[in-house]
Amino acid sequence: MKLKATRRVRRFDRERGCYVYDIAFKTETPLTERTIEVAEAFGLGIDDDQTHVLYKDFEVKLAQGDVVYITGDSGSGKSVLLRALREDLGEEAVSMENLETLEDKPIIDLVSETFHSALRLLSRVGLNDAFLFLRSPSQLSDGQRYRFRIAQLLDRGKQYWLCDEFCSTLDRATAKIVSFNVQKLARRSGATLIVATTHTDLFDDLCPSVYIDKGWGAEISINYYSNAEAAGCTVTRDIEIHESSIEDYRRLAYLHYRDSRVVAPHKFFSMRLGDELIGVIAYTYPAPMAKGRVKAVGYRPYLKELNVEWALISRVIVHPKYRTLGLGARLVKDTLRLTGRRHVELTAVMAQYNPFAERAGMKKVLVKEPTDKVVKAVERLKTLGFNPPMLASRSYNENKLADLGDEGFAGVHDALLGVDHHYYRRLARSQSPYMKKADFTEWLKSIDLAGLAWSLKTLSILSQTKVYLYWCSDWDQLDGGAECVA
């Protein structure tokens, strides 16, 4: 059977400010031995064309920033309407299914014009894991690939986003999460989102301002609602947070881009959805020194006070499936007081691109650039043939070190010895709070290739720009976050 459009009329009613559609199709059945037998058995005239009307005087109003949700059974004509809208909206419309990707490139190279803007864009759609930045679209899960397509929609800067078979390949929990995220991003970007799907369980998460239910033939209903962002994702309604143990942390530690070690742990809290562990936060005792601490409180705390009144947020991990729902901020906000500490601090690289801690009530005190000595150490390694961005890879470091001669090893040792002395203990992964240069020198002489590769990875971490954030339990009594002083 051939399906051919015989009438497609669209007119704009200026008085009512809406589009009016008439869409009909004609079917033509080819004459074959079996189709003729069908005609004879049922008394059909298959040589006669039949016209099927899908839309008759159908009106739809579209305003900038609308979220349009089109549902209906397969074959009812949802995609027909979506294609008609796509043609009428012209160059300002982009369809998700038509987005092109270069499968052999990391996603960090496929969006935005600069490195930092690409990080922010991918973080906005929930691809805010350091390892994910390096994967190609073909290496992503279905849910992650859908998030990447949303990033592409944002990157195009078009006014209308069209999505056919919306979330049809995703499990229903992921579909609800993606729905909530895409409506939020569309509304905050001022884009009009138009989705079509057979699934009717996305209403609360899309929170549509226009809801179209397409029946068979010309049967159709349309309802208009106030255009307001969804209050929250329905998936998160039953989430609970409780104090837990390092065992829960270890179950999710593999999802963090840093190593899983937690030095001097204080408390752990887990986030659960029913029996599923979906997030964890680790608090530790703070380091003796932290750039930003004096600026935060106006004095330099002694070690005794640090051990009694201070805590450090060491790790915040949310399962990738549940990211961009504000759960990182919720983990921080709901556990700050449960630590029993007056002061809580956090130093994080990701806080540059994802302000989850600020949303939780922490205050950004300063942006910490790497010290001059650390920068010079990295530059020294560069002269020895190391690629600075690759220093975060232990395997890369081991391969490069294996190719160095004695002179090269001496250069690596000199580079590490040249950093600030209070970093020696971290470079040596020592549990001691202090390490003298003589001790670090002896350690360098005794360490094997794998240990030296770890030190270079640590140096790459020290060379990153970080954000120092601070929270004080007294703030609710000091009128909106005034400085917390002794």
The answer to whether residue 421 is domain-embedded is: yes
Q: Is it the case that residue 28 has pLDDT exceeding 50?
A: yes
Is 182's pLDDT higher than 70? Answer: yes
- Whether residues 108 and 155 share a domain: the answer is yes
**More confidently predicted of 22 and 386:** 386
302 has a pLDDT exceeding 70 = yes
Specify if 213 maps to a domain.
Answer: no
Per-residue tokens: 141: 């899960």
Domain match, 293 and 388 both = no
Asked whether residue 446 carries a pLDDT value surpassing 50, the answer given is yes
**Position 478 pLDDT exceeds 50:** no
Average pLDDT over residues 70-85: 84
pLDDT digits (tens, 9 = 90+) for 185-201: 999 999 999 999 999 99
Q: Is 484 a domain residue?
A: no
Segment among 19-33, 389-403, 446-460 with least mean pLDDT: 19-33
Q: Tell me, what's the pLDDT at 210?
A: 93
Domains of the chain: total: 4
Instruction: Tell me the mean pLDDT in the region 305-333.
Output: 94
Q: For residue 462, is pLDDT > 70?
A: yes
Q: Are residue 76 and residue 130 in the same domain, yes or no?
A: yes
Other Cβ atoms less than 10 A from the Cβ of 46: the count is 19
Residue 3's pLDDT is what? 38
Query: What is residue 390's predicted lDDT score, i.e. its pLDDT?
Result: 80
Is the pLDDT at 49 greater than 60? The verdict is no
Residue recorded with tokens 């397969």: 74
Residue 258 has pLDDT above 70, yes or no: no
Cα 151 from Cα 324, distance rounded (Å) = 13
Q: What is the mean pLDDT of residues 280-301?
A: 93
Is 80 exceeded by the pLDDT of residue 484? no
**308: Cβ contacts below 8 Å, ≥ 6 apart:** none
Task: Give the pTM.
Answer: 0.76
pLDDT-derived band of residue 294, with 50, 70 and 90 as boundaries? very high
- 410 or 39: which carries more pLDDT confidence? 410
Name beta bridge partners: 23: 8, 55
pLDDT at 284 over 60: yes
Q: Is residue 482 in some structural domain?
A: no
Q: Lowest-pLDDT range, 20-34, 325-339, 365-379?
A: 20-34
Residues 52 and 84 in one domain: no
Residue 270 lies in a domain: yes
Write down the mean pLDDT value for the chain.
Answer: 85
Give the mean model confidence (pLDDT) for residues 3-24.
55
**Domain match, 339 and 452 both:** no
Q: Which residues constitute the domain of residue 297?
A: 238-369+466-477
pLDDT of residue 25: 52
Q: pLDDT value at position 163?
A: 93
Residues 250 and 362 in one domain: yes
Look up the CATH number of the domain holding residue 314: 3.40.630.30
Structure confidence at residue 12 (pLDDT): 61
Q: CA Rg, the chain, in Å?
A: 29
- State mean pLDDT over 221-239: 92
More confident residue, 341 or 78: 341
* pLDDT classification of 44: cutoffs 50, 70, 90: low
Whether residue 473 sits in one domain with residue 336: yes
| CB-based burial label for 23 (10 Å; 0-12, 13-18, 19+) | buried
Which CATH number do you get for residue 101?
3.40.50.300
Alpha-carbon gap, residue 235 to 323, rounded angstroms: 12
Which pLDDT tens digit goes with each residue over 120-160? 888 888 887 777 888 888 888 888 888 898 888 889 889 99
- Report CA-CA distances (Å) from 106 to 122, 132, 265, 379, 447: 12, 8, 35, 26, 34
Instruction: Check pLDDT > 60 for residue 286.
Output: yes
> Average pLDDT of 289-318?
94
As a three-state string, the secondary structure of the chain is CEEEEEEEEEEEECCCCEEEEEEEEEEECCCCHHHHHHHHHHCCCCCCCEEEEEEEEEEECCCCCCEEEEEECCCCCHHHHHHHHHHHHHHHEEEHHHCCCCCCCCHHHCCCCCHHHHHHHHHHCCCCCHHHHCCCHHHCCHHHHHHHHHHHHHHHCCCEEEECCCCCCCCHHHHHHHHHHHHHHHHHHCCEEEEEECCCCCHHHHCCCEEEEECCCCCEEEEECCCCCCCCCHHHCCEEEEEECHHHHHHHHHHCCCCCCCCCEEEEEEEEECCEEEEEEEEECCCCCCCCHHHHHCCCCCHHHHHHHEEEEEEEEECHHHCCCCHHHHHHHHHCHHHCCCEEEEEECHHHCCCHHHHCCCEEEEEECCCHHHHHHHHHHHHCCCCHHHHHCHHHHHHHHHCCCHHHHHHHHHHHHCCCHHHHHHHCCCCCCCCCHHHHHHHHHHCCHHHHHHHHHHHHHHCCCEEEEEEECCHHHCCCCCCCCC
User: How many angstroms separate the CA atoms of 233 and 93, rounded?
Assistant: 27
